[in-house]
Amino acid sequence: MLQLLAPDGTYGVPQEYAEYGEIIANLSEFELTRLYRDMARMRRFDTEATALQRQGQLGLWVPAIGQEAAQIGSGYALAKNDHIFPSYREHGVAITHGVELMSILKLMRGVNHGGWDPEETRFHQYAIVLGSQVLHAVGYAMGIKLDGKVGSDDPENDLAVISYFGDGATAEGDVSESLLFAAINDAPIIFFIQNNQWAISSNVADQTRVPLYKRGVGFGVEGMQVDGNDVLACYAATKIHMDNARGGKGPFLIEAMTYRIGAHTTSDDPTKYRDELEVESWRAKDPLARFEIFLRRQGIGDDFFEEVVRAGDELAADIRSQTFALKTPGLENIFDHVYTEPHPEIDRQKAWLLAYEKQMGAHE
């Protein structure tokens, strides 16, 4: 397993991973502190969103606390043209690619129809159906190759795709089919598994007999395992293999070993199936804590960390006020984006619904 930053904040590059260490050696102070800043921002956003759901402001929330390193590290390793196909927990990757955080909250509140423009952000829509986005990602990657946008050594032309999914999704047939099609077509895609150890209430030990990074080998997709709580390892692994995919070397699979500290969603109670000692053992491997130690050893002082806390408080206050101010759209809005142009059948159904609402209102 690739680990550059140990839980106690010690940094070291194993000899067999020298090329990964070279990637980190080239990071500037700005790039390093940005990683921490956005990991902290992701956690503050996540904490506030959970509170908003508990207060009835969101229909549902999908926590990602504990997975900040895997998401922020990999997200910042991508090039400007790369496309991202997330599942429903990639709030941190969304941060790295300019998705407005209120768009995610509006989605979870049910007041919009998708939330953001995937062509503008290159961050595609959340996929609630487990593993379905992996098929979409492979198809997009195959299209990129057919369009000649791979292997030209032109950074303005070439791009690759990354698809995020969890350990539970690896049991879906869609993922196996995706690995097969990616392999036989040499598709420029990275499969990024966030192995957070639990698929709702099913532990990973009950899901597979082999490490998940080896799942692709039978299809011809090589893989590796990284410490998913080590932001530097996640950054380096993703950068190297996305560069390879963009250069025409085909697909690759990364398994990031991390942990879902919170619930699967706010509809879940993990105390029913998890041992608290297990949770505490993973808290000791916290991705932010180890990276803070590393940065302090690089000479980053209190002023920076205090500013990060202040920025987090401001973010929380801002999204709270915006969420409480959200208006519920009229029910007729469900017809607005069915077709790009007006359609008589849609008009008929909309008129029927409005008449029905008016009739029901008269009986209140």
Q: Which residue has the tokens 């142009």?
A: 341
pLDDT of residue 363: 52
pLDDT of residue 61: 98
Type of residue at 78:
L
Residues 225 and 350 in one domain: no
Q: What is the separation of C-alpha 175 from the centre of its chain, rounded to a whole number of angstroms?
A: 17
Residues 119 and 154 in one domain: yes
pLDDT of residue 362: 55
In a domain, 6, yes or no: no
Residues 55 and 146 in one domain: yes
CATH code for position 316: 3.40.50.970
Indicate if 241 belongs to the active site.
no
Q: Say how many domains are in the chain.
A: 2
Indicate if 348 belongs to the active site.
no
pLDDT of residue 273: 97
In a domain, 3, yes or no: no
Q: Going by C-beta distance under 8 Å and a sequence separation of 6 or more, which residues neighbour residue 309?
A: 40
Query: pLDDT tens, position by position, for the chain (364 residues)?
Result: 999 999 999 999 999 999 999 999 999 999 999 999 999 999 999 999 999 999 999 999 999 999 999 999 999 999 999 999 999 999 999 999 999 999 999 999 998 866 799 999 999 999 999 999 999 999 999 999 999 999 999 999 999 999 999 999 999 999 999 999 999 999 999 999 999 999 999 999 999 999 999 999 999 999 999 999 999 999 999 999 999 999 999 999 999 999 999 999 999 999 999 999 999 999 999 999 999 999 999 999 999 999 999 999 999 999 999 999 999 888 888 898 889 899 999 999 999 999 998 888 755 5
Residues 178 and 305 in one domain: yes
Residues 276 and 134 in one domain: yes
In a domain, 10, yes or no: no
19 vs 21: CA distance, rounded Å: 5
Catalytically annotated residue among 37, 43, 124, 264 = 264
In a domain, 85, yes or no: yes
Indicate if 264 belongs to the active site.
yes
Residues in the chain: 364
pLDDT of residue 14: 97
Catalytically annotated residue among 54, 273, 283, 339 = 273
Closest by CA position to 139, among listed 112, 107, 163: 163
What 3-state DSSP class applies to 286?
Answer: coil
Residues 324 and 186 in one domain: yes
Residues 56 and 154 in one domain: yes
pLDDT of residue 54: 97
178 vs 207: CA distance, rounded Å: 19
pLDDT of residue 332: 83
Residues 315 and 303 in one domain: yes
Asked if 85 contacts 126 with a C-beta cutoff of 8 angstroms, the reply is no
In a domain, 113, yes or no: yes
In a domain, 320, yes or no: yes
> Domain of 356?
332-362
Residues 312 and 194 in one domain: yes
pLDDT of residue 364: 52
DSSP state string for 101-149:
HHHHHHHHHT-SSS-S-HHHHSB-----STTHHHHHHHHHHHHHHHTT-
Return the structure tokens found at 334: 């469900």
Residues 39 and 161 in one domain: yes
Helices within the chain (DSSP H only): 18-25, 29-54, 68-76, 91-96, 101-109, 118-121, 132-146, 173-184, 231-246, 276-283, 287-297, 302-324, 344-362
In a domain, 156, yes or no: yes
Catalytically annotated residue among 83, 97, 122, 260 = 260
In a domain, 63, yes or no: yes
Asked if 112 contacts 337 with a C-beta cutoff of 8 angstroms, the reply is no
Residues 38 and 161 in one domain: yes
Cα torsion for 299, 1, 254, 150, to the nearest 10°?
70
Residues 355 and 252 in one domain: no
DSSP class of 237: H
